[in-house]
Amino acid sequence: MKKTLYILFIITVTGIISSCKNVFDAPNESALDASVVYSTPALAETAVAGILQSFGETNSYRGRYLVNYGINTDVEVYNSLKNTTDDKARLANYNTNVDNGQMNTDNNAWAKFYEAIERANLAIVGLKTYGNVQSNPQLAQILGEVLTLRAVLYNDLVKGWGNVPARFEPITTETQYLPRSDKDVIYKQLIADLDEAATLLPWPNETAITSTVERVNKAFAKGLRARLALYAGGYSKHLDGQTRLSTDPDLASQKMYEIAKKECLEIINSGKLTLPGFEQTFRTLNQETNKAGLESMWEIPFAEGRGRVIFDLGVRHTTVDKYTAQNKGGTDGPNPALFYDYDKDDVRRDVSVVPYEWTNGIQVPSALSRLYFGKYRYEWMNRKVVSTNDDGLNWIYMRYSDVFLMAAEAINELEGAVAAAPYLKRIRTRAFPNNPAKVDAFMTQVVVSKKIFSDAIVDERALEFCGEMLRKADLIRWNLLTSKLNENKIKLQQLEARTGKYAALPAKIYFKTLANNETVQIYGLNFGDTDAAGLAGGYTENKTWTLVSTADQSTYWNALFVRDPSTQPVWPIWQFFIENSNGTLNNDNF
């Protein structure tokens, strides 16, 4: 499906949709008349392809946004964390510079997102003017998809840069330069847009188009609306520089919880999605079946020669081997303390956090300071990656488990813990398929009060979505970014020193390669393991399990954040765009 979309785009988009050289240029005249393009489904389809083409550009989602947004938190970190001064580190450590060499270019994610938004704006106007969407379900589906994709782009702009220009109409001479808007303006528009989009879109597998997770469907539009409602109703830094809840009565927290509850329950009650086993969901992703109706609700589609999901976020292969022709993976990884937040019976742990890398086709323990997201693995793919720069794996933008946890969060706030409990329990039950007693004991503890249940949701989302880059935005909306990072800093110090809850952990890990000459078996990672048992266990090798190397005594935890995270929860607008904004853009109070 993704290849078909890109081919359609290449053939026709130059005559249909204007591509802005930079985000402040006015569009050129289309070579084909808009009345023809947007009243003809086969031609209007190229609008979707044009938008997705901007997603896959080198410095867009592919090589800049996905790897750099969402770190450092108590869940995800930049794996070269001891460095605090290079431009990659500064994108993560809440001390980002406006001239950042990774992002301060005319074609980075900011530019590509607005390029895609302009393409979406043109398509929305064209479809609403000429598409007759009330009587043509194909054109209705395309309009719903374009509205949803525009919401995705604005969601990520607001997450990345905070209060940004709100551009919901095609560029004209008069609107060529726009100042930043308070994010409330954007959230209100997106919440309305997604409500409209859901009326236009089919459910997963109701049509041929929605049989793949690479195309938008009704469930995803509703799920994204729920997510945006929780963001809009939560804390953030506004245009006045204040970190607070919205003062707009239309975005009051109570109303936003109601929207999130409504959308999530409608998705759940539709019966159109399923929750396979946790590991199976990510094996399915890596096997690239792209089938809708399972857990993945929508994926950013990358062609085989584009996309750097495993390349940057997967289990590292230090050498070329039978699984991959690129020795990549692990630019980012799990926060080391997170591994020890999982119960050893939680099946999510060993899928989400991997303590080894591959060298010459054999698993070798990495280091406590260098763990990997196990959700993205060359070795789980059905094809060998042959590109040296890209792996082509799609990015899951939303999973069905998120719908259950958003429902649990919203219902707890509206009706209390007992009413919300079944939705949290559904996710917890999947996490402990072999130990229902632990699930029951956990649920008994968390339904005692709304506050205890809310705290449980905060923790559960960390365990469920490790490596999916949702944590930073969650912590911001809960107003927990600084406190959780300070808490994590103490955890990391205690883990290194083996004090506090980590006091009884072994100082070393013990390991051996199994008979298949590929798989490593590691002892010493679990509470209850001991150095004495490791030495006596028949393991052939051991190594000190530490955050700090003997060669470099810099402290890992001090690189997590350089400034108080609450002072810079988002990136600044890059200098290039400020200088080319005709004086309309700035970073005041950002």
Query: For the packed helices 137-161 and 41-55, what is the interaxial angle rounded to 10 degrees?
Result: 20
355/370 Cα distance (integer angstroms): 8
pLDDT tens readout for residues 538-564: 999 999 999 986 666 567 899 999 999
Rounded to 5°, angle at Cα 484 from 480 and 485: 120
Residue given tokens 């782009």 in the structure block: 153
pLDDT > 70: what percent of the chain?
Answer: 94
- Torsion-angle region of residue 537: left (phi > 0), alpha (psi -120 to 50) or beta? alpha
Go through 260-298 and write b for each residue having 16 or more CB atoms within 10 A of its CB, e for each that does not. Answer: bbbbbbbbbeeebbebeebbebbbbbbebebebbbbbbb
Query: For the packed helices 436-446 and 417-431, what is the interaxial angle rounded to 10 degrees?
Result: 150
Indicate if the alpha-carbon torsion angle 463, 468, 474, 476 is positive or negative.
positive
pTM of the model as a whole: 0.94
27, 119 Cβ separation under 8 angstroms: no
494/498 Cα distance (integer angstroms): 6
Fold of 2-82+101-300+573-579: 1.25.40
Q: Does 104 sit behind a cis peptide bond, omega within 30 degrees of 0 on the bond before it?
A: no
State both tokens at 462: 């960390």
- Phi, psi torsion values for 577, nearest 5 degrees: -75, -30
Residue 551: per-residue pLDDT: 60
Residue 4: per-residue pLDDT: 43
For residue 299, the SS3 value is: strand
Residues of the chain with pLDDT under 50: 1, 3-31
Q: CB 555: neighbour CB atoms within 10 A?
A: 16
β-strand partners of 543: 509
Residue 550: per-residue pLDDT: 60
442/346 Cα distance (integer angstroms): 12
State both tokens at 377: 């693995």
- Phi, psi torsion values for 356, nearest 5 degrees: -140, 165
Domain boundaries in the chain?
2-82+101-300+573-579
| Number of H-type helices and E-type strands within the chain | 22, 13
Residue 118: per-residue pLDDT: 98
90/571 Cα distance (integer angstroms): 10
Give the 3-state DSSP-derived string for 501-566, with helices as H, strands as E and coil as C.
Answer: HHCCCCCEEEEEECCCCCCEEEECCCCCCCHHHHHCCCCCEEEECCCCCCCCCCCHHHHCCCCCHH
- Phi, psi torsion values for 37, nearest 5 degrees: -60, -50
469/163 Cα distance (integer angstroms): 20
332/313 Cα distance (integer angstroms): 6
